[in-house]
Amino acid sequence: MQGKLSDIELIEQTLAGNQSAYTDLVKRHQRFVFTLAMRFAKGREDAEEIAQDCFIKAYRSLASFQHQSKFSTWLYSIVYTTAMTFLRKKRVATDSIDDESIHIQVENRCSGYDVNNAENKSRSFYLNQAIEQLLPDDAAIITLFYKGEQSLEEIGQALDMEANTVKVKLFRARQRLKEKLARNLKHEVKELI
């Protein structure tokens, strides 16, 4: 059954000519690739374009994957370089926030409305909003570390940096994130952190 195969097994099947194996690989990683692309592009259309370019580049370079790191680390390095190239071409302002991401709609239904769920969504919303205001490098490191659950070494491989450099950049990115949260939430920041 394809769903239980490892990334390496799916890569081997893809290289052997099984196109559906690559489709499974894309499905497995598309959500996080898109999330990371959104950290750079800020706009849905641009992020979709970056993500699509990444999977095309990964497919074309699949034979060169050396298994020295996890496939996800290799793929995220492609996302990073593709996004940086995209940003240079588009010269997107890094501090703009997509209007769509500012607004949140919460439906309050009397029957079975979960207050904790709404509170968690609200925290997640404010956190994501603050991450979007960070520089692309800071947003990538925060996203890879917390959402991607990548180690400092894996992030270093993906971003072509030493693990100690990633550690310092992660510390600084956290500080800038805290400042953004403080600016956005003022008094509520103490409860979120």
| Candidate CATH numbers 2.60.40.420, 3.40.50.11540, 1.10.1740.10, 1.10.3720.10; the one for domain 1-93 | 1.10.1740.10
What's the CATH architecture for 103-187?
Orthogonal Bundle (1.10)
| Percentage above 70 pLDDT, the chain | 78
Q: For residue 91, what pLDDT band results from cuts at 50, 70 and 90? A: low
Residue 126 has pLDDT above 60, yes or no: yes
- Both structure tokens of 14: 């893809």
Is residue 192 within 8 Å of 181, Cβ to Cβ?
A: yes
Q: What is the pTM of this model?
A: 0.57
CATH 1.10.10.10 location in the chain: 103-187
Q: What is the pLDDT of residue 96?
A: 40
Q: What is the pLDDT of residue 92?
A: 39
Pick the most confident of 49-63, 89-103, 147-161: 49-63
- Nearest Cα residue to 122 out of 106, 143, 107: 106
Q: For residue 53, what pLDDT band results from cuts at 50, 70 and 90? A: very high
| Percentage above 90 pLDDT, the chain | 26
Residue 104 has pLDDT above 70, yes or no: no
CATH 1.10.1740.10 location in the chain: 1-93
